[in-house]
Amino acid sequence: MALRFSKMHGSGNDFLVVDGRGGGLALNPAVIRAMADRHTGVGFDQLLSIEPARDGRSAFYYGIWNADGSFSGQCGNGVRCVAAWLHRAGALAIGDTVQIQSPSGPVAVRLIDAHRVTVDMGEPIFDPPRIPFDAPNSADHYTLEVDGQALEIGAASMGNPHAVVVVENLAAPALARLGPALTGHARFREGANAGFVQKLDRQHVRLRVHERGAGWTLACGTGACAAMAVLRRRGDVDARVQVDLPGGSLEIEWAGPGERLWMTGPATFVFEGEWLGML
């Protein structure tokens, strides 16, 4: 039985989107891994399933699976693609603001045009048990030993855990080993997305992210949000920041503690297809 899908990306962070609004969608990690293979499958960083809402207050629910078949709580670039997909399906009009349900809770999306979306990502979480991160108290800076090196990080959750490291050079060879090591660090008991951020000025940064379950990606929406939030909490950036990632740029707005964080960026369709392999 064939499974229809849309291939999409947000700033190069690529997705396979499947329609489960009619129910009966059954996926397992082995199938997801087979579909994610970039040589013998379709290839993607995450799979997104659009399904009926489960909370009674949202218009839809979306599930998120990483390329290795593991489950994810949130995906900033993915939710923009979900909104654009719903618009193409006739379920969301340009200018509308709609609440949709993610695995980590509801988010509001506003369609600016057919290919650009603003998302209410909620308030960043810095409380260590809620990230989750092993630390006695919440702090702006933590020191971890990562692959034999003392590394200063910030820790936050945007519906999934993030470790943020400020660096001078995003092309430094050491990042190739530090990214995976930080993603799997024991103090992040559920793993973490490791973001390396270079500050250009108070309104402009560059970022690379090694994502748990997907590896190095061209963009990470929640990673951009977490990096900005960590820097904003330290007083290092303004309330509106452009975050440049290898695949494109995102706009992040956050006034500070007690306020909700907003992300704006593109959502692009690549092609439609059918999966004829195992289900």
- Which of the following is catalytic: 82, 155, 220, 224? 220
Pairing, β 46-52 against β 13-19 = parallel
Residue 169 known to bind ligand: no
- The reply to whether 220 belongs to the active site is yes
Which residues touch 266 (CB under 8 Å, ≥6 apart)? 10, 11, 80, 115, 116, 117, 248
Whether residue 22 is annotated as binding a ligand: the answer is no
191 is in an annotated binding site: no
40 assigned binding-site residue:
no
The two tokens of residue 241 are 């920041």
Q: Burial, 258: exposed, middle or buried (Cβ in 10 Å; 0-12, 13-18, 19+)?
A: exposed
Burial 269-278 (b: 16+ CB within 10 A, else e): beeeeebeee
Cβ contact 210:198 at 8 Å: no
Residue 212 counted as an annotated binding residue: yes
Q: For 181-194, give one letter per residue: b (16+ CB within 10 A) or e.
A: bbbebebbeebbbb
Distance CA 20, CA 238 (A): 40
Q: Is 149 annotated as a binding residue?
A: no
What CA–CA distance (Å, rounded) separates 232 from 253? 10
Active site (annotated) includes residue 225: no
Query: Per the annotation, does 193 bind a ligand?
Result: yes
d(CA 135, CA 62): 31
Annotated binding-site residue? 137: no
Is 46 one of the annotated binding-site residues? yes
Cα 56 off chain centre by: 24
Which residue in the list 35, 75, 79, 225 is annotated as catalytic? 75
Q: If we measure between CA atoms, which residue out of 101, 116, 108, 120 comes closest to residue 48? A: 101
Q: Is 77 a known ligand-binding residue?
A: yes
Residues identified as active-site: 75, 220
Binding site members: 13, 46, 66, 76-77, 160, 193, 211-212, 221-222
| Annotated binding-site positions for substrate | 13, 46, 66, 76-77, 160, 193, 211-212, 221-222
